[in-house]
Structures are given as structure tokens and as C-alpha cells.
Amino acid sequence: MEEKSANSPPGKLKIAGAMRTLLEDRTFESITIAEIAATAGVTEGLIYKYFKDRRDILHHVLKEHYQQFLVQIDRDLQGIDGALNKLQKIIWSSIERYANHRVFARIILLEVRNSEGYFHSEAYALVKQFNRIIIGIINEGIAGGEIRDNLPPAYIRNAIFGTIEHSCLNRIFFNEPVSTADTAKIITDLLFQGIKR
């Protein structure tokens, strides 16, 4: 049975909400089960009714965020033609997400990749799904002659997301605001044209 957040029991919603709140300005490692329970207003035991362990809560929160993100990306891409135009929009949308959803950025960029379990989570399945979409667009661009045909698509994807992530990470660490429009423009220009004069 698909579990929609709408019909999730109130306790589960409160637990996930508490994790989100606490991640706003704390690292995952520093957040204790006792704190989560207190913030959620439930007992510690209940947490283990809904989640396998502490990390499972994190994966759950990421999954929900990523679902929203994919819905938004899908919408953002509608009506856009051309692989480069689509990539440009994806760059913009991704930066916008990181800039306006610090918790999402924190989790995916810093907190999950260091555990084996993540790669078997539902959240990671969504990441792979997004990846396939990107690779599809890149291949479309190569086939259509918009994108160079002597670069492996996976590297192009790595360049796009590596650059975005590195650019957003520092901002997140030091709580600096990110101008989505400016950042997206610079990164798109850099990746499309290269750095060489």
C-alpha cells in the first residue's frame, strides 16, 4: 500500500516534522532520539514503530523532499524545447531548491552519502530516477547536434551537478544568501562555453 503523507498517523508526521525542524540549524549527528521525541511531542518508543532507526527518519525526510522536487522539475520543464534549454532550466531549478530549502540541501549534500544504507533507500531510488532524466536530455542534445559528441554523458552530468553542489555548499555552511538567477546564469555560461578564452 502506498503510504501518502496525508493518511500517515499524526505521530509519524510529527516525528518527520521534528527532524526537519531540528535539521534547520543542526547537524544530523548532533540530533538525538530524545530530542526528536521531545520536539515532536511523542515518546521515544513511538519513533521505532515507524522508523527502523535514526537514519531511517533522515531518509524518509529526504524522500519527501525529493518527491516534491521531482514534481516541480517536471512542471518546470514543460513547454521547453531543446536539450540545452532544458539543462539550463534544470540548473536553475536545482539551485533554486538548494537556495530555498536548506534542509533538503543539507541532507542530500552532506548527511546521507556517508552511509551504506542510503544507497538502498527509496530516496536514492528517486535520485537515480532524476539521473536517468538528465542523461536522457544530454543524449537528446548529442543526437540533435546541440551538445558535443565526444564527451561521455555521465561526465557532463557530473560537471553540472558537481558545479552546482560546490557552489551552493559554501553558501549553506556559512548561511550566505544565494541569488538563484545570478548563480544559474554564471554556471550555465561556464559549463556551456567553457572557461578558456
How distant is the alpha carbon of residue 81 from its chain centre?
24
Smallest gap, in angstroms, from Cβ of residue 95 to DNA? 33
Question: Largest alpha-carbon pair distance within the chain?
Answer: 61
Instruction: Give whichever of 55 and 101 is closer to DNA, judged by the CB atom.
Output: 55
Give the residue, chosen from 45, 78, 148, 175, that forms a contact with a second copy under the rule CB under 8 A. 148
Give SS3 for 114: coil
Measured CA to CA, the distance from residue 177 to residue 172 in angstroms comes to 8
User: What are the Cα distances from residue 159, in Å, to 152, 191, 192?
Assistant: 11, 8, 11
Smallest gap, in angstroms, from Cβ of residue 4 to DNA? 12
Give the residue, chosen from 17, 33, 130, 169, that forms a contact with DNA under the rule CB under 7 A. 33
How distant is the alpha carbon of residue 22 from its chain centre?
18
Q: Which does 74 bind (CB under 5 to 8 A by kind): DNA, a second copy, none?
A: none
Q: Which does 10 bind (CB under 5 to 8 A by kind): a second copy, DNA, none?
A: DNA
Interaction of residue 46 with DNA, rule CB under 7 A: yes
Q: Which does 84 bind (CB under 5 to 8 A by kind): a second copy, DNA, none?
A: a second copy
Q: Which does 143 bind (CB under 5 to 8 A by kind): a second copy, DNA, none?
A: none
Smallest gap, in angstroms, from Cβ of residue 31 to a second copy? 12
Instruction: Give whichever of 44 and 182 is closer to DNA, judged by the CB atom.
Output: 44
DSSP code at position 82: S
Smallest gap, in angstroms, from Cβ of residue 169 to a second copy? 7
Q: At what angle do helices 122-143 and 153-173 cross, to 10 degrees?
A: 130
Smallest CA-to-CA distance from 130 within 181, 67, 59, 61 is with 67
Give SS3 for 26: coil
Measured CA to CA, the distance from residue 190 to residue 88 in angstroms comes to 11
For a second copy, the binding residues (CB under 8 A) are 27-29, 84, 110-111, 113-116, 119, 145-152, 155-156, 158-159, 161-167, 169, 173, 186-187, 189-197
Residues that bind DNA (CB under 7 A): 9-12, 32-34, 42-46, 48-49, 53-55
